[in-house]
Chain A
């Protein structure tokens, strides 16, 4: 494991694109985690203030991102927004994994009728364009951060189920699974000790990179008015709030939008790199190592 991680970093160092992506993603996580503690104007960030004299101020030293229609400092709002985006990213992806992985695992390992039924069910969900499904679910569930997360996760789990299913189908035919059966292990133990850990890697990588998309989709939901509600400073919501005043106060929508874009960009750059790393290069280099050992 460690040698693979080391190899990953060596390759990354040589690749500027990957490094940039990595830095952006790390920045997102760090800011997301510490943001409540570094706010200069927490009341603004949380949205409870109304400062008439400071309304619609353009970016300046005092307000690097300007202020909005309630006089709230946008910089603080965007920084705190990172925390919400992080919560959403981890929440959506995490919940989708919790739902999708067991289904994919059981479908893949049991095969036969159970497997077919489960995968047909998954396929039904996959047939919907995910964002539309999320919107429909969010509208049904009602507003709020938690419902937004649930709605998105419910539209996302099928992808992970399918990914796990495909992986499990390969892994279950590996000699080490045969060996586990020959040892006399029960199906449950084989599934969780031998099959799942080896089927998870691509899923985990995919899930980590999907966090960027989760941020984007959540922003979309908030922008449309479903999902997160004011005064929560979620980025999508911030963009939406600044939309009407876009002609006179471009900065209200711009900076949250920029935050979304850079975060998603960071994840996408890493995803590109990860895809390269996972596929032929890794195979060649890993083979070279085995070959010349």
Chain B
């Protein structure tokens, strides 16, 4: 049984206008997304800004209520659960956000920040919690003294480690990582990514990784889904997707990433995707990539393809493959 199952998730944001807040349209941020995450595995959602990947993460974290669709965790449907009935879910599903200086309360000391989940979910009292906090800090590579500091006194890497310590404190099973290293320097990013992989092994965690950085996704993931304008347009194991990308958008993404190594850089042929992603308010008819796709055909402009399987662990949503 998979740990997390998301079925046909839809999230529309109403656009209100005028004095009385009349709804004049919707931002179709997520338009029917399904995926599942197994135990002790890393599943990544790749997309650019406006793709809907962050919205999906927020729905999984129950920070937003889906417009429709189901979210099932450990076999239990949590879609309509709220408030107190969600407490067990919150213990098992935690998050690490992009900017640690914004995701840690600037007025709280590190030890209080990390102790919060211990008190709520493990029912620890202050002294017990303090000991456990030190153990957690050590686990993420920080010394005890960090406990008495405030977030702004830490470096980016240290602050993100604190955020990770907080996230694993309640002994969760799934962590949602929303661009966990985008705000960090390259050398620090490597340390944090290594830490996350180590923790995954030691604590048998699963990760839902949201990222626009394909090299991070490559390093960490077992399975990847590429999202464009609220729909998954390609899904596969990390080997399949990176070695045999099928969808033109995936190919364009992979070819656009600049490589430091001159040898590889020269080999790369960039697939040009002209223009800008259209607005999720009024997605194009037919295939969402059709206005920009270099391989576009008539069919693409009028009807939207389904996700079909093109190999073991490989799905793609494109008329080129049907």
Contacts and interface: CB of A to CB of B under 8 A. Distances in A.
A184 B86 contact: yes
B157 to A, nearest CB: 10
Contact of B63 (A3, A182, A290, A293): A182
B90 A184 contact: yes
26 contacts: A1-B150, A174-B102, A175-B98, A176-B103, A176-B106, A178-B61, A179-B163, A180-B105, A182-B61, A182-B62, A182-B94, A182-B95, A183-B90, A183-B117, A183-B120, A183-B170, A184-B86, A184-B87, A184-B91, A184-B117, A184-B121, A186-B83, A193-B105, A197-B107, A198-B105, A198-B106
Interface of B: 58, 61-63, 83, 86-87, 90-91, 93-95, 97-99, 101-108, 116-117, 120-121, 150, 152-153, 155-156, 163, 166, 170
Nearest to B151: A176
A194 interface: yes
A290 B101 contact: yes
A183 B120 CA distance: 8
A181 interface: yes
Contacts, number: 66
A17 interface: no
Interface residues of A, number: 20
Contacts of A179: 95, 97, 103-104, 163, 166
Given A183-B94, A184-B90, A293-B155, A178 B120 contact: no
A16 to B, nearest CB: 30
A178 B90 contact: no
B168 to A, nearest CB: 12
Counting from the closest, the 6 A-B pairs by CB-CB distance are A184-B90, A175-B103, A175-B102, A197-B107, A176-B105, A175-B97
A246 interface: no
B107 to A, nearest CB: 4
A185 interface: yes
B103 A184 contact: no
A193 B104 CA distance: 12
A183 B58 CA distance: 13
Contacts of A293: 155-156
Contact of A3 (B83, B120, B153): B153
A103 B162 CA distance: 34
A285 to B, nearest CB: 13
A175 B163 CA distance: 11
| Interface secondary structure of A, over-half rule | helix
Interface string A194-206: 1001100000000
Contact of A175 (B99, B108, B120): B99
A219 B95 CA distance: 55
Contacts of A194: 105
A293 B155 CA distance: 7
B7 to A, nearest CB: 22
A182 B90 CA distance: 6
B95 to A, nearest CB: 5
Nearest to A293: B155
A131 B305 CA distance: 68
A178 B91 contact: no
Contacts of A1: 107, 150
Nearest to B106: A198
Given A178-B58, A186-B83, 20 more contacts: A1-B107, A1-B150, A3-B152, A3-B153, A175-B97, A176-B103, A176-B104, A178-B61, A178-B97, A179-B103, A182-B62, A183-B116, A183-B117, A183-B120, A184-B91, A184-B117, A184-B120, A185-B120, A197-B105, A197-B107
B101 to A, nearest CB: 7
A291 B63 CA distance: 31
A181 B120 CA distance: 12
Nearest to B163: A179
Interface in A158-185: 174-176, 178-185
A13 to B, nearest CB: 23
A201 to B, nearest CB: 9
Contacts of B120: 183-185
Contacts of B87: 184
Contacts of B163: 179
B63 A185 contact: no
B61 A176 contact: no
